[in-house]
Structure 1
Amino acid sequence: MVLSRAAARSYVAAAKAAQRRHRVDGTGKSPSPPPASQRAALYVHWPYCEKRCSYCHFNKYIPRGVEEAAMRNCLVIEAQTLLRFSGVRRVDSVFFGGGTPSLASPHTVAAVLEAVAQAAHLPADSEVTLEANPTSAPSPKLAGFGAAGVNRLSIGLQSLDDTELQLLGRTHSARDALQTLAEARRLFPGRVSVDLMLGLPAQKVGPWLGQLQELLRHCDDHLSLYQLSLERGTALFAQVQQGTLPAPDPELAAEMYQEGRAILQEAGFRQYEVSNFARNGALSTHNWTYWQCGQYLGIGPGAHGRFMPHGAEGYVREARIQTLEPDNWMKEVMLFGHGTRKRVPLSKLELLEECVALGLRTDVGITHQHWQRFEPQLTLWDVFGASREVKELLQQGLLLLDHRGLRCSWKGLAVLDSLLLTLLPLLQEAWQQRVPSPVTEG
């Protein structure tokens, strides 16, 4: 592929910005790790796409034209502002999601990373992930992202069946996907993740398992299995509602998932989270922060974040949602330095509920030490140890509660949602018994 002069200039600028970022990073010696309240992951939302996929309900827009310089400037400003508001001194990972962030230029990625490195410590070996679609990620552009500081790719492959890809509204073919995957693995060896969807309308178990086996001949060390979720407002939802497509069969989807995870286990993959599988230690450290209830800042239109505002008393965290529509978000950023539309303080109980619901998605679960970070007085034994329902789940081999902590078994991970229907009410009950209800004035 021959590069245009404009693209070549963009890649050179990205590489120079990345070099400046490494100089900002300092001598190569990491400072002593700050406390958890001063560490966070950073999510950057690129809201634009070439086309809206038939299943997608994310915050994305199909613009006639993108003023990338303006968007880049606003992403930089908001990153600097929220890092200052949060008091975060170290950013452990950065994830560029969307939308389709591979439509952005490497220069934009480099500018955001440089701004982060100037406002906080961003170690040179931090995981920096970018989501890429096969049709928007030619090899020279992938190399440009690498020069900008990206060191991990997440490729939205979704299917290796062209008919299914058309049903999903994807702009690539199975051949495009495998070609992009091969180039990505050449440029980012051991650092490429792919997504495969299951539970599509009219999808059968055998052919889907064939796709998975085919993908195993081409994939790297990280793979995600996602079941289709029909969301109101999407084209697929409307087609199923109108009867032009059959509704997905949940029993077939469960069979695909169970057989698929067994195939991946046999291929040497660790199921470290309900939907995510890795071998050779290629876990996503950014997503691990979410599942461990760590702090994260959300930058860009519609991005979500959860962090403790700087100067807040006690261990308080708030959920933040940025303004959805890109043009309005940019106006707010230029006026206020950020486009936060909604701030919701999280109670201690809500934080513990998240700790349970997210922590149990992983094979490690919730260790006693991790739980004590959020609740040093009420232990996991206090909450769950005496419960008859939990004892039944332990006997059924779905849960484990021991000296390590609370976690799902291999069998339990597959039915986590049903387990949470038992566990979360127990947590709420234990919390109410521990904390007296406030007296209300009549």
Structure 2
Amino acid sequence: MAVRGWRPAAAAIAAARPGGGGPGGAPGPAPALERAPEAGAGAAAPATAALYVHWPYCRKRCSYCNFNKYVVPVVDEAAVRACLVREARTLLRLSQVQSVTSVFFGGGTPSLASPGTIAAVLEAVAGVAHLPAGTEVTLEANPSSASTPRLAGFRAAGVNRLSVGVQSLDDAELRLLGREHTAAEARGAVEVARELFPGRTSIDLIFGLPGQSRGAWARGLEAALGLCDDHVSLYQLTLERGTALAAQVWGGALPTPPQDLLADMYQTARTMLVAAGFRHYEVSNFARKGALSTHNLSYWRAEQYIGVGPGAHGRFVPRGEGGHSREARVQTLEPDNWMREVQSQGHGTRRRVVLSPLEQLEELLALGLRTDEGVTRERWGCFSPQLSLEAVFGAPGEAKALQEQGWLILDSGGLRCTMKGLALLDSLLPDLLCQLQRCWAPPAMPEEGSCARLQHPEEDPVGGSGAGGEAVGRSGLAGAVSRNIQSQNR
């Protein structure tokens, strides 16, 4: 099925290749923020949004996974496709978004869906909102469902960026993780992906496995860099309640990796990647040749995004309902229930919460500080035109102390972590949030030391699916490389 009016033009395809001016161009700063001021902060809602589409099905559940995935004997793909199409149309109309800045198909295992389903969703999006030629359209793929004909079909459907769930290039580690592919299959899938999506292939790798040594991790990473040097996402293994791997470790059958070793592994990876020319643009993410993920940047910059599919999360202003404030939305978790709701009312939104201006600033701070650009003054001003970054974090207090200790920087560009501060972000955030809360509404704040705790989107009681992006939260170095907003998509 063709997607009308937005398929990549020859120039856009050329720009994706090295030297073409897009992801293949020379490294440089992250794309500048080009959004209208955010609603909920006293200004009009932006007319743009990113779109995440969740495919909830897998062939098997990996030993470490507790995300919103389902293993079923048969998937009624026609019914799922119809519901994804209908919900995408409904939520885009509800948001009154005029232009979609990126699309991400996550899961689950979206490479198990047919190219026809991907094309149908993209055509539906293009029928409701502007989907410019060359818009980043990413699909997550497992090596076991990434044959050449299948990936070529996804490219013909409109996908122009692939995120491959490699996780490891060691067969013993893959078996421990419960992956269904081998190291050879992973290499083959990445090689095909780079031929079909030149300059726009990303790979996921996991470190901190039980029994894994620093040397083994370094060797595996070196092998991966020889395979793909566009974009790499690194995730520290997190033992999740209810998973087979956690039960083995907590039961004593497998060793618990020491925290110092995990920190050394992360630092080793960062050193190797930076030396290889990668930009460490977010806690878990590294890119060469400008191949940053546009979609993930929209989350970290607290821009609008719409979540479609079972358990998907969103952040947008429902203008079509007369709304004027940004809402946090969660779609119904279980696929069959979600489909019934979509069929009856056009969408399966199970939970919606209006975010206060303070809550929006808390999210902006927690997510923006994950990036090397941090929270820019321009972006902060969109959410808080009356209270400047300097007024909150330049005054004597916790933030000033963190700056003096070399963890934080506040300058003309905005607020950001130093490299050593980035590795300990979750340890720094509570103090920063307390200072923000006191400055925002002093009379209403609890006593010092008892500041309200920020609830991240992934802490909603809906499992692990939602917003999307390959920056999935299996990271946990000193708590900083912890679950982030993209962890909702797996």
TM score, norm. by length of structure 1: 0.91
Paired position in structure 1 for 2:356? 347
- Match status 1:255 vs 2:259: no
Task: Map 1:317-328 onto structure 2 (within 5 A).
Answer: 317-328=326-337
Distance of 1:238 and 1:163 partners within structure 2: 19
If the length of structure 2 is used for normalisation, what is the TM-score?
Answer: 0.82
User: 1:358 and 1:296, CA in 2 relative to 1: closer, same or farther beyond 3 A?
Assistant: same
d(CA) in 2 for partners of 1:106, 1:71? 13
Letter aligned with residue 22 of structure 1 = W
Contact 1:273 1:362 in 2 (8 A): yes
Distance 2:288 2:375 in 1: 22
- 1:245 is aligned to 2:254: yes
Alignment of 1:212-227 (within 5 A): 212-227=221-236
Measure, in 2, the Cα distance between the counterparts of 1:116 and 1:351: 27
- Larger Rg, first or second structure (1 or 2): 1
What CA distance in whole angstroms lies between the structure 2 residues aligned with 1:347 and 1:337? 27
- The one-letter amino acid paired with 1:239 is Q
Residues 1:357 and 2:366 are matched in the alignment: yes
The change in CA–CA distance for 1:34 and 1:298 in structure 2 (over 3 A counts) is same
The one of 381, 394, 400 equivalent to 1:391 is 400
Aligned match for 2:93, one of 84, 96, 105: 84
2:305 is the counterpart of 1:296:
yes
- Separation (CA, whole Å) in 1 of partners of 2:385 and 2:71: 48
Aligned partners of 2:317 and 2:219: how far apart in 1?
A: 46
Paired residues for 1:326-341 under 5 Å? 326-341=335-350
Q: Quick check: 1:199–1:250 contact (8 Å CA) kept in 2?
A: no
Residue of structure 1 in register with 2:454 after alignment: none
SS at 2:138 equivalent: strand
Instruction: Write the distance in 2 (CA, Å) between the matches of 1:406 and 1:198.
Output: 29
Give, in angstroms, the shift of residue 313 of structure 1.
Answer: 7.2
Amino acid at match of 1:418: S
CA distance in 1, matches of 2:91, 2:305: 10
- 74, 77, 97: which is aligned to 2:83? 74
Q: Tell me by how many angstroms 1:247 deviates.
A: 1.8
Q: Within 2, Cα distance between the matches of 1:224 and 1:264?
A: 11
SS of 1:37's partner is: coil
Does the CA contact (< 8 Å) of 1:49 and 1:60 recur in 2?
A: yes
Aligned 8 A contact 2:316 2:328 in 1: yes
Post-superposition offset of 1:362: 0.4
Q: 1: distance between equivalents of 2:243 and 2:104?
A: 25
Deviates most, 135-144 or 241-250: 241-250
Mapping 1:151-162, distance limit 5 Å = 151-162=160-171
Work out whether 1:22 is the aligned partner of 2:6. Answer: yes
Task: For CA contacts below 8 A with separation 6 or more, give which structure has more relative contact order.
Answer: 2
| Structure 2 counterpart of 1:129 | 138
Q: CA deviation at 1:422?
A: 1.5
Cα separation, 2, equivalents of 1:63 and 1:107:
21
Mapping of residues 40-51 of structure 1, within 5 Å: 40-51=49-60
Structure 2 residues not aligned, in runs of 5+: 13-33, 37-44, 447-490
Residue type matched to 1:302 in 2?
A: G
Return the offset for 1:124: 1.3
Aligned residues: 415
- Equivalent in the alignment of 2:278: 269
Distance 2:79 2:221 in 1: 41
Q: CA RMSD in A?
A: 1.9
Q: Secondary structure at the match of 2:362?
A: helix
1-structure distance, mates of 2:409, 2:149 = 48
Which residue does 2:125 correspond to in 1?
116
Q: Alpha carbons of 1:405 and 1:435: their partners in 2 closer, same or farther (altered >3 Å)?
A: farther
Aligned residue in 2 for 1:7: none
- Of 134, 152, 176, 1:143 maps to 152
Note the alpha carbon deviations across 1:344-376, whole angstroms, 9 max, x for none.
111111110000000000000011111000000
Tell me the distance in 2 between the aligned counterparts of 1:343 and 1:313: 15
Partner AA of 2:77 in structure 1:
E
Unaligned runs of 5+ in 1: 1-13, 438-442
